[in-house]
Amino acid sequence: MSTIARLDTRLLRVPLTRPWAADVTAVRVIATHVVRSDGAEGWGLSWTPQIGAEAVHALLAHDIGRAAVGRSAVPGAEWQALWEHLHEAGGGGITTIALAGLDLALWDAEARASDLPVSLLLGRRRDSVRAYGSGVNLHYSQEELVAQVQRWVDAGFPAVKIKVGRAALAEDVARVAAVREVLGPGRELMIDANQRWDLERATRAVQALAPFRPAWIEEPLRAEDLAGHAELARRIDVPIALGENLHTVHRFGEFLRAGAAQIVQPNIVRVGGITPFLRIAALAEEHGAALHPHLLPELSGQLALTLSGNVAEPWAEDVEDAGFGELGVLADPSPVAITDGRLTELPHHGLGMRFADAAAVRKRFPIR
């Protein structure tokens, strides 16, 4: 049995071509590299846009690295034990984000050792998956927002997602109405409040926006508000989507059992990697909830190709100008392509997500 011989990590700052806010002009990536006792190598990542990257890096470099060396390198074999080891620092959040860096590298190493992409190692179920255009655009003017949606329409996306939660509900209504006009009746529209509302405001807002036929309302309340989401689900007909800020299978189980979400959106990095993501996918199917992975299409698109789709065909989320391939930080060509609203894999081994070498990345994107 091969074991983990070494875990290397490096922290990268990756500027965004299209800032997500005035103070969000870059995201942070912790690139990971694992070496197995049989010589096989794998590459992975942890990711957090703004907060906690240094803490994640420290957990990987010290606590996870020291605890992992000598353990089984079989993907998933040691995930639970390492999660329990880290639990003193928290059951989810920084700890699971950090665990993803090791978990993804181990899956990458296993697939590379078999000369396969990870999707085939897991069991690919489809050749392509539908994709929607997404943007961090609440700060855009209505004219800028409409122009962005038109770009997605021109690119052939069958659905788009926009942010809501402006100070005045009338602004949201006007913006959503303008977007629906551009989309026409044949394309889907998702709306994302990013936790900006309380229960009463969410009730009023969703009722006001319902005539524009949103496919879902995403994170209408604080992500931790289980009771509030369950009550909101009883009040509205628009499906509730959430999960990007739930970090463990246990939390997903609580929300699903309470009927607080009809759609779950685990972020593969935030939940701790592929190993827990697969458990969450099985749990969602058990409860009849659709699952659409959150962000990071180079990674989540590959996993979407392996999902059963028994409840609903999964979506891949493509945030405009935010893919790692588009941002120029991958050492190899992107492992996926999105054309006419469908994501497909390109030839690669493992996850196909090695980041450019440390010297080149430091020169181009110094941490500051």
Nearest alpha-carbon partner for 134 in 355, 338, 346, 312: 338
Nearest alpha-carbon partner for 189 in 226, 146, 231: 146
Q: Which two tokens stand for residue 232?
A: 């909101």
For helices 249-257 and 274-286, give the axis angle rounded to 10 degrees.
10
Whole-angstrom distance, CA of residue 90 vs CA of residue 86: 7
Is residue 363 flagged as an active site residue? no
pLDDT at 1 (0 to 100): 85
pLDDT at 30 (0 to 100): 97
For the segment 312-354, what is each residue's pLDDT rounded down to a tens digit?
999 999 999 999 999 999 999 999 999 999 999 999 999 999 9
Task: Compute mean pLDDT per 10 residues along the chain, 368 residues long, and list them.
Answer: 96 91 89 98 96 96 97 98 96 97 98 98 98 96 98 98 98 98 97 98 98 98 98 98 97 98 98 98 98 97 96 96 92 97 98 83 53
pLDDT at 112 (0 to 100): 98
pLDDT at 368 (0 to 100): 46
User: Which H or E element spans position 337?
Assistant: strand 336-339
CATH topology of domain 4-115+357-364: Enolase-like; domain 1 (3.30.390)
CATH 3.20.20.120 boundaries in the chain: 120-345
What residue type is assigned to position 53 of the chain? A
Choose, from 161, 163, 292, 348, the residue flagged as catalytic.
163
Choose, from 57, 161, 294, 348, the residue flagged as catalytic.
294
CATH 3.30.390.10 boundaries in the chain: 4-115+357-364
Q: Which two tokens stand for residue 228?
A: 């509030």
Is residue 62 flagged as an active site residue? no
For the segment 100-135, what is each residue's pLDDT rounded down to a tens digit?
999 999 999 999 999 999 999 999 999 999 999 999
What architecture is the 120-345 domain classified under in CATH? Alpha-Beta Barrel (3.20)
Distance, first Cα to last Cα, the chain: 42
